[in-house]
Amino acid sequence: MSMFASPRRLREMGVVGMNQRNNTIIGPLNPRSLYPLVDNKLKTKLLATEKGIPTPALLGALKTQHDLKGLADVLAPHDGFAVKPAKGSGGKGILVIASQRNGMFIKANGQELRVDDIRRHITNILSGLFSLGGAPDVAIIEELVRPDPMYENLSVEGVPDIRIIVYRGFPIMAMMRLSTRASDGKANLHQGAVGVGLTISTGIAVNAVQFNHTVREHPDSGADLMSIKIPGWADLLELGARSADATGLGYLGTDIVIDRDRGPLLLELNARPGLAIQIANGVGLAFRIREVDEIRPRYFRESPHERIHRAMTMFN
């Protein structure tokens, strides 16, 4: 058996490659001027709030070294929170504090930090340590997302998130990303996270992969992956479609988490979503893109609610 697939077979499966994504999808559909909306988490959050899209609550945004003086007061009332660089990518520079005890901050893995440690981390963020090209950045402090207990066995050290690709306002493909011990709590598939492909019509698992191999159980907890069914699936799709409308991007990756109290929350947006989602679903994006391209022009002007129901029947 060859290590390579024939290009003809891949084309038959509708697999979209990097060059095609960059040249024919992202190029024409995502104007450069809109990138800052998604590349800066603070801007995304403000935009989402303005459009009524739920996100984890913003507890504070620190823009200058001077803002750090009041840090202890900002943090004191919140048990758990996450500190993130606004312009970070790929999960860089994210510090998650699960709880506070006796003035110490406790990370998800049990490590204890003092307020000075957090202050130093924020200084690093402000100096651009985690942003692209070292540009000065802003640190945002977010309310901690508490996952639904039903996901407890699915993800190690991290909240599972759901990536939905929205093409010209229509959700066309989705997957759930589960961190594993191999991925060191990170949700990137190439680092060993498990990708579970979900149907657009129902939010039920269709396929799961880790390191490009098909899996049926979570490698660490042994939880059955094929029984995953996301409750309130239509709400998640609608969140994705509304985010696409809010940003104006024609090809958008929306990352959503489900909070046990607040339900689905928009975590972040991506203007250049990767192509691994095709492997997780075991199917290419091209046919779904073509189906959307061929629907009647007036459907594109429908409300997000109508569009997602159209998509749910289209991608059955």
Partner 1 sequence: MKKSSQSSRFSLFAIVGFLSVLGLGQSIHRHVAYDIPWIPGTEKSIWSIEAHIQFSGRGQPASVNLRRPSDQAGFAVLDESGASPGYGLSFVDHIGLPTAQWSIREATGQQTLYYRAEVLQRDTDEVDEEPPPRLQSRSWEEPYATAVKAVLDQAFSLSSDPFSLTRQLIKQFRTGNRAQNEQLLIDEVGEDNLTNLLADMLQSRNIPATTVYGLLLEDGRRRQRLKPLLRVWSDGDSEIFKLALSPEETRLPLLIWQPTRGYVLDVTGGTGSDLTFSMLRSEFTSYGEVASALGEGDDFLGFSIHTLPIEEQAMFKTILLIPIGALVVCLLRILVGLSTSGTFMPVLIALAFIETSLLTGLVGFLLIVSVGLMIRSYMSHLNLLLVARISAVIITVITIIALFSVFSYRIGLTEGLKITFFPMIILSWTVERMSILWEEEGWREVAIQGGGSLLTAVLAYLAMTNPWVRHLSFNFIGLQFVALALIMLLGSYTGYRLLELRRFRPIVDPVK
- Contact residue for partner 1 among 127, 153, 202, 221 (CB under 8 A): 127
Question: Among 31, 36, 248, 282, which residue interacts with partner 1 (rule: CB under 8 A)?
Answer: 282
3 state DSSP class of 91 = coil
What number of chain residues touch partner 1 (CB under 8 A)?
A: 38
Residues in region 53-92 near partner 1 by CB under 8 A: 90, 92
Name 138's Cβ contacts closer than 8 Å, sequence gap at least 6.
Answer: 40, 42, 61, 62, 63, 85, 86, 87, 125, 126
* Contact call for residue 120 and partner 1 (CB under 8 A): yes
| Cβ atoms of 161 and 236 closer than 8 Å | no
CB of 214 or CB of 303, closer to partner 1: 214
Q: Is 93 in contact with 129 (CB distance < 8 Å)?
A: yes
Q: Does 113 bind partner 1 (CB under 8 A)?
A: no
Backbone angles phi, psi at 300, to 5 degrees: -70, -20
Q: Based on the shown chain and the rule CB under 8 A, indicate whether residue 134 belongs to the binding site for partner 1.
A: yes
Binding mask 199-218 for partner 1 (x = CB under 8 A): --------x-x--xxx----
Strand partners, 265: 257
Is 298 a binder of partner 1 (CB under 8 A)? no
Backbone angles phi, psi at 119, to 5 degrees: -60, -40
φ, ψ (nearest 5 deg) of residue 253: -100, 120
User: Rule CB under 8 A: is residue 3 a binding residue for partner 1?
Assistant: yes
Angle at CA 269, nearest 5°, toward 268 and 270?
A: 130
Smallest gap from Cβ 16 to partner 1, in A, equals 9
Q: How many helices (H) and strands (E) does the chain have?
A: 11, 13
Per CB under 8 A, which region of 36-44, 239-247, 281-289, 298-306 contacts partner 1? 281-289
Can residue 232 be called a binding residue for partner 1 (CB under 8 A)?
no
Q: Give 64's contacts (C-beta < 8 A, 6+ positions apart).
A: 126
Q: Is 18 in the site for partner 1 (CB under 8 A)?
A: yes
Task: Pick the closer one to partner 1 by CB: 24 or 49.
Answer: 24
**Footprint of partner 1 (CB under 8 A):** 1, 3-7, 9-10, 13, 15, 17-20, 23-24, 28, 90, 92, 120, 123-124, 127-129, 134, 191, 207, 209, 212-214, 275, 278-279, 282-284
